[in-house]
């Protein structure tokens, strides 16, 4: 069996590990800290309000945000990150889901 000639200009595969992509959670330190301390983040559809992001710790619901028109998922998570900080630092809990009386 004859060997085929290698095409000219083809470089061998690199043996260097690829550079990992930018960590999107690096820009969300409060979300990361909450998850690391056994808190929870929930994302999803909730009838009838639509897409929501909810952050809870073992004792409190820290924030419940409704996704705005045209808002990206990352923008929603960035707002959630700010709301978590506000709950921890100022004891101000954000609720965009339940109507206030």
Q: Note whether residue 56 is domain-resident.
A: yes
Q: Note whether residue 52 is domain-resident.
A: yes
Q: Note whether residue 81 is domain-resident.
A: yes
Which residue range is the domain that position 83 belongs to?
A: 41-95
Which residues 6+ apart lie within 8 Å of 40 measured at CB? 34, 54, 55, 56, 57
Q: How confident is the model at residue 99, as a pLDDT?
A: 80
Q: How confident is the model at residue 67, as a pLDDT?
A: 97
Cβ proximity of 46 and 100 under 8 Å: no
Q: Note whether residue 34 is domain-resident.
A: no
pTM for the structure as a whole:
0.75
Q: How confident is residue 23, by pLDDT bands cut at 50, 70 and 90?
A: confident
Q: Note whether residue 100 is domain-resident.
A: no
CA 40 from centroid of its chain's CA atoms? 12
How many domains does the structure of the chain reveal? 1
């Amino acid at each position: 069996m004859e060997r085929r000639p290698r095409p000219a200009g083809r470089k061998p595969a690199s043996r260097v590990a690829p550079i990992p992509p930018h960590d999107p959670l690096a820009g969300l330190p409060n979300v990361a800290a909450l998850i690391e301390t056994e808190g929870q983040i929930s994302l999803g559809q909730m009838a009838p309000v639509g897409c929501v992001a909810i952050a809870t710790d073992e004792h409190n619901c820290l924030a419940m945000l409704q996704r705005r028109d045209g808002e990206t998922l990352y923008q929603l998570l960035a707002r959630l990150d700010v709301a978590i900080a506000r709950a921890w630092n100022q004891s101000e809990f954000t609720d965009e889901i339940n109507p206030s009386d």
